[in-house]
A = this chain, B = another copy of it.
Amino acid sequence: MSQKGILRPGHVCIRVMDMNQAVKHYTDHLGLIETDRDDQGRVYLKGWDEYDWFSVVLRETQEAGMDFMAFKVRDRVALDSLEKDLKAFGCTVERLPAGELKHCGERVRFDSPAGHYFELYADKDYYGNEVGITNPEAFVDGIKGMGTHRFDHCLLYGDELDGSVKLFRDVLGFDITERVLDGDVMVGAFMACSNKAHDVVIIRHPEPGKLHHVSFLLDSWEEVLRAGDIISKYDLALDIGPTRHGITRGKSIYFFDPSGNRNEIFAGGSTWYPDHPTVTWNAEKLGKAIFYHDRQLNENFLSVVT
C-alpha cells in the first residue's frame, strides 16, 4: 500500500478514577482484551481484531480525560522525519524511551495548538488477533459484551482549532474529510490518515485539551443494536443512540465509562480517498450533521467533555 507516513490511531491513554471499575467496563462491556499491566498500575487493552499489543491504556488518577493519543507510523525513518517536521512547526517534542509503555518502541510526543498531546511511534510488539494468520476463521465468537473490533478514532475539543488542523494537515499529512463551518469559521474538522471517514476529529471549544469521546469499531447496525442492549442491561450511562450520523454516515451510540469519559461504538462510515472533495456542513445544519435522525443536538452532547 502507498501509506508512507502515518498508518492509524495506534493507542489512546485514558484517565480513569477507579481502575477496577474501568477495567470491568472496557473488558466486560466493550469487549476489549486485557493484555498487560505495568509498574505504574496502567492497564493495557486491545480489540480482538488488532494485531499489536495494545490500543488502549488506562491510567488511574483523580481526573478523567485523555493523557494522549498516538499514531503508528510506517517505520523509524518516517518517525525521524516527522519528528523534525513537528519541531519545525513549533511543537514541543519529547522522545519517550522504548518500554516506557510496555511492548512499545520509542515514542515522539508533541503538544498541539488546541491543547492535546499526541504521540508517534513506529514499533509495537506483535500480539496477534484472535483468529490468527494461517487459515483463520472468518469470525470470532466468545468475545465479551459489545465485542469491540478495534480502537477507531478520538474526537477532541480544544481552543486553537485552526492551528491543530494546520498541524495535522500540513505536518502529519492528514486530509480533511468533512468540516463544519459557522459562517466562514471552521468549527469542526474531521481528518483522516487512511481510507476511513475519520481518524481524529477536533472541534472548536473554549477550553483547550478536552476529550469528547473515544470511539471503537463494530461491524454492523445489528452489532450497534446489541451494544445498545448491553448498555441498558448493564445499566451503563447512555448519552444518545442508536442513531446514524450525517457526518461520515456512520451508525453510532454514545455512552460513558464509569469515570465519565464518553465512549462511542461506531459502524460503517463512508470511504475516503485523497482526491475526494471535503464535505461541508453549515453550523445551522449541525443537528442533522451529528444526529441524522433527531436533527437536534442535546446540551449534554455539546458541553460534557473530560
Contact = CB atoms under 8 A, between A and B. Distances in A.
A221 B49 CA distance: 19
A193 B1 contact: yes
Contacts of A135: 246, 280-282, 285, 288-289
A243 to B, nearest CB: 7
A138 B229 contact: yes
Interface in A264-303: 268, 270-282, 285, 288-289, 292-295
A72 interface: yes
B293 A228 contact: yes
A274 B221 contact: no
A139 B193 CA distance: 24
Contact of A74 (B196, B274, B276): B274
A173 interface: yes
B278 A139 contact: no
A17 interface: no
B74 A139 contact: no
A195 interface: yes
Interface in A223-238: 225-226, 228-233, 238
A54 interface: no
Interface size class of A (residues with CB under 8 A): 35 or more
Contacts of A274: 1, 3, 7, 74
Nearest to A272: B1
Q: Which interface residue of A136, A194, A222, A226 has the most chain B CB atoms within 10 A?
A: A136
A241 interface: yes
A74 B72 CA distance: 23
A20 interface: no
Nearest to A285: B135
A128 to B, nearest CB: 8
A249 B138 contact: yes
Given A133-B278, A225-B251, A295-B238, A245 B138 contact: yes
A51 interface: yes
A291 to B, nearest CB: 9
A8 interface: yes
B174 A1 contact: yes
Given A221-B220, A225-B221, A1 B51 contact: no
A195 B193 contact: no
Contact of A49 (B126, B174, B233, B270): B270
B1 A138 contact: no
Given A1-B194, A2-B173, A138-B249, 15 more contacts: A1-B272, A2-B193, A7-B273, A51-B275, A133-B278, A134-B279, A137-B233, A138-B244, A138-B292, A139-B229, A141-B230, A195-B196, A229-B244, A232-B246, A232-B292
